[in-house]
Amino acid sequence: MTAAAGKTAKPVAAPVTVRVDLGERGYDIVIGGGLLAEAGARIARRKPKAKAAVVADETVAKLYLDPCRQALSAAGIEPTSVIVRPGESSKSFPTYERVVDALLQAKIERGGLVIALGGGVIGDLAGFAAATVLRGIDLVQIPTTLLAQVDSSVGGKTGIDTPRGKNLVGAFHQPVLVIADTDLLDSLPPREFRAGYAEVAKYGLINNEPLFAWLEKNWQSVFAGGPDRVRAVAESCRAKAAIVGRDEREAGERALLNLGHTFGHALEVATGYSERLLHGEAVAVGLVLAFRLSAKLGLCRREDADRVAAHLAAVGLPTRLSDIAGELPGTDALLALMAQDKKVRDGALVFILARGIGKTEIAQGIEIQAVRETLDAARDSS
Catalytic residue list contains 279: yes
Active-site residue, selected from the candidate residues 258, 268, 292, 343: 258
Q: Give yes or no: 235 in active site.
A: no
- Catalytic residue, from 199, 235, 268, 281: name it: 199
Active site residue 231: no
Backbone angles phi, psi at 312, to 5 degrees: -65, -35
Q: What is the C-alpha separation between 103 and 36, in angstroms, rounded?
A: 23
Which of these is catalytic: 10, 279, 311, 343? 279
Return the number of other C-beta atoms located less than 10 Å from residue 107's C-beta: 10
Is 265 labeled as catalytic in the residue annotation? yes
**Set 254, 292, 311, 343: catalytic member:** 254
Residue 173 is among the residues annotated as catalytic for this protein? no
Q: Among this protein's residues, is 250 annotated catalytic?
A: yes
**Residue 157 known to be catalytic:** yes
Is 327 among the catalytic positions? Answer: no
Per annotation, catalytic residue among 10, 47, 202, 240 = 240
Choose, from 229, 265, 292, 343, the residue flagged as catalytic: 265
CA atoms within 13 A on the CB side of 74: 13
Catalytic residue among 88, 235, 250, 281: 250
Active site residues: 135, 157, 199, 240, 250, 254, 258, 261, 265, 279
